[in-house]
């Protein structure tokens, strides 16, 4: 698991518009809130994404970009974004490469079968690429507001 003070693992993956997004592109320019959620359209994930979206201007005022990551594909992200008016960039990590780098996958038993599941987690990465906060197994409701309060302290 990543801890505060560690360098954030670099990655690149496509967003809902199939544009390649690289963490390194933000280094020196903006803080990054990188949040992982289980899947598009799940009720708690929808709530979390809408809450982050509603606060996007507040995050931008603190030179912070929002990147949401799930293992859904680009088409699913685009439909989810458009249906709910989500303004944050949603990144497709279909092969779970980014999830593995950030240590957010865990085994979950569903109907007697062990499956990999994404642990709802958020990382606040400063302009230098350093993880300032690593929040694991967070609740969706009110989480965006809590993250904004932490970003304001950067």
Name which of 116, 126, 123 is nearest 154 in CA terms: 126
CATH of the domain at 35: 3.40.30.10
pLDDT at 133: 98
**Residue 2 included in any domain:** no
Which residue among 13, 45, 74, 99 is the active-site one?
Answer: 45
**Residue 30 included in any domain:** yes
- The token pair that represents 47 in the structure block: 């709530």
**Residue 143 included in any domain:** yes
pLDDT at 130: 98
**Residue 1 included in any domain:** no
Average pLDDT, the chain: 95
Rounded to whole angstroms, how far apart are CA atoms 154 and 65?
14
**Residue 7 included in any domain:** no
**Residue 6 included in any domain:** no
Number of independent structural domains in the chain: 1
Cβ atoms of residues 10 and 34 within 8 Å: no
Question: pLDDT tens digits, residue range 60-98?
Answer: 999 999 999 999 999 999 999 999 999 999 999 999 999
pLDDT at 12 over 90: yes
pLDDT at 72: 96
pTM of the model: 0.94
Q: 58 falls in which pLDDT band (50, 70, 90)? A: very high
**Residue 55 included in any domain:** yes
Structural domain for 144, as ranges = 12-151
Bridge partner residues of 116 (DSSP): 107
To the query of whether residue 99 is one of the catalytic residues in this protein, the response is: no
**Residue 93 included in any domain:** yes
Q: What is the DSSP string of 88-105?
A: SEEEE-TT-HHHHHTT-E
Rounded to whole angstroms, how far apart are CA atoms 74 and 51?
21
Token pair 């062990």 in the structure block, residue = 114
């Amino acid at each position: 698991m990543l801890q505060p003070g560690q360098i954030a693992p670099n990655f690149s993956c496509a967003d809902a518009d199939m544009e390649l997004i690289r963490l390194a592109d933000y280094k020196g320019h903006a803080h990054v809130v990188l949040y992982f959620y289980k899947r598009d359209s799940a009720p708690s994930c929808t709530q979390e994404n809408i809450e982050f979206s509603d606060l996007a201007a507040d995050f931008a005022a603190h030179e912070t970009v929002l990147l949401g990551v799930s293992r859904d594909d680009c088409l699913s992200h685009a439909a989810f974004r458009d249906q709910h008016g989500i303004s944050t960039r949603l990144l497709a990590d279909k092969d779970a490469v980014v999830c593995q780098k950030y240590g957010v996958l865990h085994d979950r038993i569903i109907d007697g079968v062990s499956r990999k599941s994404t642990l709802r987690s958020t990382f606040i990465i400063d302009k230098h690429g350093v993880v300032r906060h690593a929040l694991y197994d967070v609740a969706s409701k009110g989480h965006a507001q809590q993250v904004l309060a932490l970003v304001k302290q950067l």
